[in-house]
Structure 1
Amino acid sequence: MTAAMPASGRSQFLRSLLRRKPVVIGLAVLLLILLLALFGPMLSPYAASKLSLASRLKPPSPEHWLGTDDFGRDVLTRLAVAGRLSLLVGFSVVVVSCVIGVTLGLLAGFFRRLDTPVARLIDAMMAFPDILLAIALVAALGPSVVNVIAALGIVYAPRLARIVRASTLVIRELPYVEAARALGVSTPRIMVRHVLRNLLSPILVQSTFIFASAMLAEAGLSFLGVGVSPSVPTWGTMIAQGRQYLDQASWIMFFPGLAIVCAVLSLQLVGDGLRDLLDPRLSKDI
């Protein structure tokens, strides 16, 4: 599927996508998480950081739907505020990784002299486990939301670069690219109009997986205490702070953990559905 798909083709694609129950479930869960993150803190009568020792460690009730934590803070309100950060980090990491990964992949795949050094750089970065490389980068840059986004964007960029490079190596040899060269079309125009627009499908699919991985990695970094400031509510810090109260107040850990699972699983379901529809080798089975 290319960027130039006609309106009828887009409608058919959306109908085919929405006929898949896992994709519909994933989109519904994502929508609920997005609505909770956007409007939950505004509708809640409690402030995410307001302490209330009289309400400390209260179980879920009509007053506090998901209970309170060890400082008497409303878990639902903090869950919604933390969801904003997780979604922001996930989306921002996708943008950063796309800018870096697509640029590197296009240059390596289109220009033969750049292929070997860029390919070796990609292989070297992918040789390190994602979480270890992210911890090292955040430790070097310092704990903050911007640095977490930058670190995770660098960590996941090689995934996109590898896919874009492999596809570009094939596309640059196709007849319509050779024809464009023969007609004197400039190299940047060929790369954007004839190569990049035909890579939108794999980039879109991979972006959904990066989104999920970035949210999970951000929670892991926050859980370990090397992500954003502990004073900022995140799903990872909520789980870390609730560990010592697992026996007497399990809801402090359970609901943030459930939110992470639902968000990551829903993104994976949507990504799988997009991959099945956009991959010609798989779409015939739908």
Structure 2
Amino acid sequence: MSGSVSEAPPGLLRQLSARPSVMAALVVFLLIVLACFLLPLLGITDIGGMSVRNRLSAPGTNGYAFGADAFGRDLLGRLLVAGQASLAIGLGVAILSTLLGVILGLVAGFFRKLDTALSRLIDAMMAFPDILLALSLVAIFGGTMGNVILALSIVYTPRIARIVRASTLVIRELPFVEAARALGTGTPAIMLTHVLRNILSPILVQATFIFAYAMLAEAGLSFLGVGVDPKTPTWGIMVNEGRQYIDNAFFLILFPGIAIALSVLSLQIVGDGLRDALDPRLSKET
């Protein structure tokens, strides 16, 4: 026997399409993703070429649409390659933190004996400001892309865990869960089939927000010089590298800053739209 307490309303895509701002944000984000991953493959931009003679060329001069950096590299090509790393980090953090948060939240919410200890652990982790905890973890793990994803995943895992735990505490007491126990359904099956299935909507929404938070946090870490190794360009690293030339080449900061802002803002708007569509009680104009 199974039940459902938070089934997604029918016609999710139709509901999202009725919100112009959400659809516009989704299109913007998809265009950013496609540009970052497809244009370099098509050879439209010069990725690694350097020209000292053309260093710090302004946008639209010497054949550089977005200008050239301090080494004479095409800023557009570097922006696209850096976007691949920034987007990969955001997606990796969203996936890993969601997996860890779901496991932690399900265990805390379903097993009463473990609830107090795990809840205190979650509260303790959330007591630290995100950026300070991320700085500490990156300093411990090291500045590779994998370590940055791991550190930020640990930072954002409590966000998912609290949502999953709170929902699990409610669902585990509902009649269809009690009926499943009476029929001899095992605990793992109940957790996955009856509990997790009914809380996928808030998990999906929160994962969308974490995607945006992670990209912003990575940019902050890279700007402070403690993020990914500079050999792997990210938008945050580009901003960090360009700040010393802000007086005579402000575009070195402008374009990666716009890329970060557009990506994060579009993800936030899409997340708001998903939340409103998946939970009719919160329905409102975005």
Inter-partner Cα distance in structure 2 for 1:71 and 1:44: 20
Inter-partner Cα distance in structure 1 for 2:5 and 2:13: 15
Using the TM superposition, give the Cα deviation of residue 231 of structure 1 relative to its aligned residue in structure 2, in angstroms. Answer: 1.9
| Aligned pairs for 1:1-286 within 5 A | 10=10, 12-44=11-43, 46-61=45-60, 63-283=63-283
Inter-partner Cα distance in structure 1 for 2:128 and 2:22: 32
- Asked if the contact 1:44–1:77 (Cα under 8 Å) also holds between the matched residues in 2, the reply is no
Please give the per-residue CA displacement for 1:5-33, whole angstroms capped at 9, x wherever unaligned.
79xx65x1210111111111111111111
Inter-partner Cα distance in structure 1 for 2:16 and 2:221: 34
Instruction: Give the 3-state SS of the residue equivalent to 1:242 in structure 2.
Output: helix
Instruction: Give the 3-state SS of the residue equivalent to 1:153 in structure 2.
Output: helix
TM-score, normalised to structure 2's length?
Answer: 0.94
Inter-partner Cα distance in structure 2 for 1:116 and 1:5: 29
Inter-partner Cα distance in structure 2 for 1:189 and 1:237: 45
Inter-partner Cα distance in structure 2 for 1:93 and 1:144: 14
Number of equivalences: 282
Please give the per-residue CA displacement for 1:236-269, whole angstroms capped at 9, x wherever unaligned.
1111111111111111000000000000000000
Using the TM superposition, give the Cα deviation of residue 47 of structure 1 relative to its aligned residue in structure 2, in angstroms. Answer: 4.0
Inter-partner Cα distance in structure 2 for 1:132 and 1:235: 20
Instruction: Give the 3-state SS of the residue equivalent to 1:202 in structure 2.
Output: helix
- Asked if the contact 2:12–2:278 (Cα under 8 Å) also holds between the matched residues in 1, the reply is no
Instruction: Give the 3-state SS of the residue equivalent to 1:41 in structure 2.
Output: coil
Q: Percent identity?
A: 61
Please give the per-residue CA displacement for 1:104-135, whole angstroms capped at 9, x wherever unaligned.
00000001001100000000000001111111
Using the TM superposition, give the Cα deviation of residue 284 of structure 1 relative to its aligned residue in structure 2, in angstroms. Answer: 7.5
TM-score, normalised to structure 1's length?
Answer: 0.94
Instruction: Give the 3-state SS of the residue equivalent to 1:42 in structure 2.
Output: coil
- Asked if the contact 2:152–2:214 (Cα under 8 Å) also holds between the matched residues in 1, the reply is yes
Inter-partner Cα distance in structure 2 for 1:3 and 1:230: 47
Q: CA RMSD in A?
A: 1.9
Instruction: Give the 3-state SS of the residue equivalent to 2:173 in structure 1.
Output: coil
**Unaligned 5+ residue runs, structure 2?**
none
